[in-house]
Amino acid sequence: MAKIQIKSEKLTPFGGIFSIMEQFDSTLSSVIDSTLGLRCRLFGYRYSEIIRSLMSIYFCGDSCIEDITTHLKNHLSLHPTLRTCSSDTILRAIKELTQENVLYTSDTGKNYDFNTADTLAHVLRMSLLI
């Protein structure tokens, strides 16, 4: 016969997402915030919190940014210290981090438009050094 345990704390259907989020905060958040700089002085979300929220969307099996507001925020807000931002905040931060595209014209006259995303590439390189 199976043993049944009665739990008084609230449970989330997303298994170990809190331990992943805590590990992210202990290792990568300082690198992200020091590389990208301060986003807000008094209140608001740091870039590391926004990137962590974005990662949580995909780790929990959702496929678009709006899912954090509609499906995940109630579950992720159960953690006592980690803050989860809304989809609007994530989209604003992505827009803040965008850079102008570079136009390259080849010898044959074709134009190629690309974006090097230097700031985010630097964050990735710094994260690899941890």
pLDDT digits (tens, 9 = 90+) for 68-77: 999 898 888 8
The number of domains in the chain is 1
37 Ramachandran zone, left/alpha/beta (phi>0; psi -120 to 50): left
Flag whether 21 is in a domain.
yes
Residue 119 forms part of a structural domain: yes
pTM: 0.81
* 114 within domain boundaries: yes
- Our measurement of the distance from residue 36's CA atom to the centroid of its chain's CA atoms, rounded to an integer in Å, reads 13
End-to-end alpha carbon distance in the chain: 47
Domain with 41 in it: 17-128
Is residue 10 domain-resident?
A: no
Q: Would you write out the chain's pLDDT as a tens digit for each of its 130 residues?
A: 778 877 767 777 887 898 999 999 999 999 999 999 888 877 899 999 999 999 999 999 888 999 999 989 888 888 888 999 999 999 999 999 999 999 999 999 999 998 888 999 999 999 988 7
| Residue 47 within a domain | yes
d(CA 3, CA 87): 40
Establish if 2 belongs to a structural domain. Answer: no
